[in-house]
Each structure stands twice: as C-alpha cells, then as structure tokens.
Amino acid sequence: MAERSFEVSRLPGFATVAIAVFVLLYLPILTLVVFSFNSGPSIAVWQGWSLHWYTDAWNNEAVKGATIRSLIIATAASAVATSVATMAALGTTRRAAFGGQTFIYVVINQPLMVPEIVTAVALLILFGVVKQATGYQGLGYLILAHAAFCTPFAYLPIRARLEGMDLSLETAACDLYANPWQTFRHVTLPLLAPGIAAGAMLAFVISLDDVVITEFVKSGGQDTLPTYMLGQMRRAITPEVNAISTALLGLTVVLLTLFFILTRKKN
C-alpha cells in the first residue's frame, strides 16, 4: 500500500527540481562557512585558514549577548505567535461563515501589509510612552512586537492545513463520547501537527531575522544579532559574523541529529 501510493505520487521532474533546490540552498551557506575560517579580516578575500574569528566572537561580550538575546526573543515570540495563531486558525476555519471572519483574517495578516519601518515607527512612539510611564524597559517589548509580526507567518500555514481537513474523525470521536478537549488533544492536534510545525518554524526564523522593528523598539543593551550586524554593514563586515552563523548552524545540526536519533530509538 505504502509502496503503491509512493509510486503514484511521483511526478516527473519534481524530485530533480527539489534536489537542485536543496543544493542551491546550501551553496551560499558553504561559502559563508568557508570564510568563517579566513585568517584575514574580509568576507570576500581569502587569506588562509585560521580559527581566530571563533575565539574573537567567543570573547566578544557584545556578540555573545546579542546571539543569546536573539535566540531568547525568537523562542519566546514564536511560542506566543504559534499558540495564538493555532487558536485563531481553529476559530476561523471549518465552521459556518460568520460576520467578522474577514475582519479577523485581515487583522491577523495586517503586519504583512505595511513595510516594517511603519510598524517600527508606530511602536517606537507607543512604547516610548509606555516605557516612560511604567519605567519597565526589559525584553518584553521586543518579545511582544516580534510575537505580533510573527503571528501571520504562523497562522497561514496552520490555516492552510486546517482548511478542508476531514471532520469525520472528530465527529467519530465525539460520537464515542470524547469531550471536546479530548477530541482536540487526541484527534485534531495530531492531524494539525505538521501545520503547527511549519508555522512555528517560520515564526522562529522570521523573528531571528528581524532588523528594523528591533532597531526601533530595543532599549539600552538590547542589541540582537541582526541589529549588531546592521551597525557593521556601513563600515566593514568581518568573518566574525560568519563564525557566529556557522557556530549556530553547527549547534542546530547537532541538536537536530540528537533529536532524530532519540526519537528513532523510541520508535
């Protein structure tokens, strides 16, 4: 059965395109990794092998702080964004159309529709007032802002998954006297999981990449990796940034490999 469906699902040329896409995706990453080992101060002129950008980055408090801060914000913001987006997707699909549904759809996707600088200026003004009134200047503002603009990125894949998802299993569960929460937990959620995973991943990388909004919302001592790099762009970018990126990539790969080995054992 599995064999057979695998057969019919083959569309000519698709696998070739996909493999080509993966190769092309990693080609620039390869140059990025190579130049992180450059002994010279350039990300374009090769001057021999060295590890000193790694030690430099490790000893640079500003870089380390910014990297950790980026990861904290991205984790927290994508967690918040994915949770609210999942609920909203459940609320706006697979039920009789209701007045306001379009409104909700537009509001959730609104952050996509204006250039970041606009949201950034708006948040600068609003948060400026709030920061002065409350005296609180912590990372909360950045997490809140990131969670907001990451929400549509989480919402759309989850919604795409939900739309037209078969209701019959859930109806069956209800017929078997499962309560709505049990139905959700044991039937809907597992069916929805790939959508949630896709949404969460998008939200995470979008947050990790944000420059403009962060630049305007951050308070003293809250540089993230992208805003730190923005400052470097006008003068000279050194392979230090490549070293950080490579280290992050390496860490991701190690963690993922561990994760897959562990889950495989469980199976």
Which one-letter amino acid corresponds to residue 214? T
Q: Which two tokens stand for residue 170?
A: 């859930």
Number of residues that bind another protein (CB under 8 A): 158
28 binds another protein (CB under 8 A): yes
Of 186 and 232, the one with the shorter C-beta distance to another protein is 232
User: Which 71-100 residues touch another protein, going by CB under 8 A?
Assistant: 72, 75-76, 79-81, 83-85, 87-88, 90-92, 94-100
Q: Which two tokens stand for residue 191?
A: 């069916």
Element (H, E) at 112: helix 101-113
> Exactly one of 23, 121, 172, 189 binds another protein (CB under 8 A); which one?
121
Give just the sign of the alpha carbon dihedral 35, 40, 46, 48. negative
190 binds another protein (CB under 8 A): no
173 binds another protein (CB under 8 A): no
Residue 158 CA, distance from chain mean position: 14
- Min dist CB 248 to another protein, Å, is 6
> Exactly one of 50, 116, 169, 187 binds another protein (CB under 8 A); which one?
116
13 binds another protein (CB under 8 A): yes
161 binds another protein (CB under 8 A): yes
CA 239 – CA 81 distance, rounded (Å): 33
182 binds another protein (CB under 8 A): no
Q: By the 8 A CB rule, do 202 and 153 touch?
A: yes
Q: By the 8 A CB rule, do 243 and 36 touch?
A: yes
174 binds another protein (CB under 8 A): no
Q: Radius of gyration over alpha carbons of the chain, in Å?
A: 23
188 binds another protein (CB under 8 A): no
112 binds another protein (CB under 8 A): yes
CA 117 – CA 215 distance, rounded (Å): 10
* Cα dist from 259 to 22, 203, 252, 265, 266, whole Å: 21, 21, 10, 10, 11
254 binds another protein (CB under 8 A): no
265 binds another protein (CB under 8 A): no
111 binds another protein (CB under 8 A): yes
> Exactly one of 26, 55, 179, 185 binds another protein (CB under 8 A); which one?
26
Of 178 and 191, the one with the shorter C-beta distance to another protein is 191
